[in-house]
Chain A
Amino acid sequence: AQSVTQPDIHITVSEGASLELRCNYSYGATPYLFWYVQSPGQGLQLLLKYFSGDTLVQGIKGFEAEFKRSQSSFNLRKPSVHWSDAAEYFCAVGDSGNTPLVFGKGTRLSVIA
């Protein structure tokens, strides 16, 4: 069965600093990987996705993620965090079949001045 682990429950970063949110997955075949962001009381917004090809994917709002098959990881990065990036971030894994997305437990990002 697929699973996703986000090891960090809560991360605090200074505005302007770089950010890396970790995501590890367990899946037998090639996974389809997603990062979603959720602001308080809002729905989930897709930041980026990986299906195949270039392992470094660019997303919206200046985010990028790198797929590393050898480490079963899909970490999210941003070179300079803005206060508006404070939110909950979910990593998710899917496949090419009919199984639903599996979400990680989420990482809450706080941004301080």
Chain B
Amino acid sequence: DTEVTQTPKHLVMGMTNKKSLKCEQHMGHRAMYWYKQKAKKPPELMFVYSYEKLSINESVPSRFSPECPNSSLLNLHLHALQPEDSALYLCASSPRSRGVPYNEQFFGPGTRLTVL
């Protein structure tokens, strides 16, 4: 299995809803990432998990809450979002591990989130 899967593909939620995005990979990668991407812009890094521990949080508002239950799974819990949070949310993984000197990332297809 050489892909990253994301569910759902599309999500519409109100500002008071709680929802979760899910990302899964079975490539044995030990680093996983959440990105936010607005139209016609590059991906913006949100969070990085390395060996199931949060290693980078790019000053993301607390209404986004990441979780890495195991080495294959990454969740992003959403609560009280704003309309400006509407975007494509991309998950990625990389084989980065101790002593491996590169950072090649494999991306999932994304979840298109619309906040009403």
Q: Which of B42, B103, B109 contacts A100 (CB 8 A)?
A: B103
| Total interface residues in chain A, CB < 8 Å | 25
Q: Which of B88, B103, B112 contacts A95 (CB 8 A)?
A: B103
In the complex, chain B residues whose CB is within 8 Å of the CB of A74: none
State in angstroms the CA–CA spacing of A4 and B4 once bound together. Answer: 26
Could you tell me if A42 and B104 are in contact, using CB atoms closer than 8 angstroms?
no
Chain B contact patch, size range = 20 to 34
Q: Report which of B96, B104, B109 forms a contact with A34, defined as CB distance below 8 A.
A: B104
Say whether B107 contacts A41, CB under 8 Å.
no
B89 CB → nearest A CB, Å: 10
A63 at the interface (CB under 8 A from B): no
Contact string against A for B residues 45-84, beta-carbon threshold 8 Å, 1 for contact and 0 otherwise:
1001010000110000000000000000000000000000
Q: Is A25 an interface residue (CB 8 A)?
A: no
User: In the bound complex, how far is the Cα of B94 from the Cα of A49, in angstroms?
Assistant: 14
Does the CB pair B109–A42 fall under 8 Å? yes
Given A43-B108, A46-B106, A100-B33, decide whether A105 and B101 contact each other with a Cβ distance below 8 A: no
A98 adjacent to B102 (CB under 8 Å):
no
> Does B105 contact A101, Cβ atoms closer than 8 Å?
yes
**Contact between A105 and B103, CB atoms less than 8 A apart:** no
B43 at the interface (CB under 8 A from A): yes
How far is B105's CA from A44's CA once the two chains are assembled, in angstroms? 9
Asked whether any CB of chain B lies closer than 8 Å to the CB of A103, the reply is yes
CB of A15 to closest CB in B, whole Å: 23
**A44-B90 contact, Cβ under 8 Å, with A90-B42, A94-B102, A96-B102:** yes
Is A72 among interface residues, defined by CB-CB distance under 8 A? no
A-B contacts, 6 listed (Cβ < 8 Å): A43-B6, A43-B107, A46-B104, A94-B102, A95-B103, A101-B103
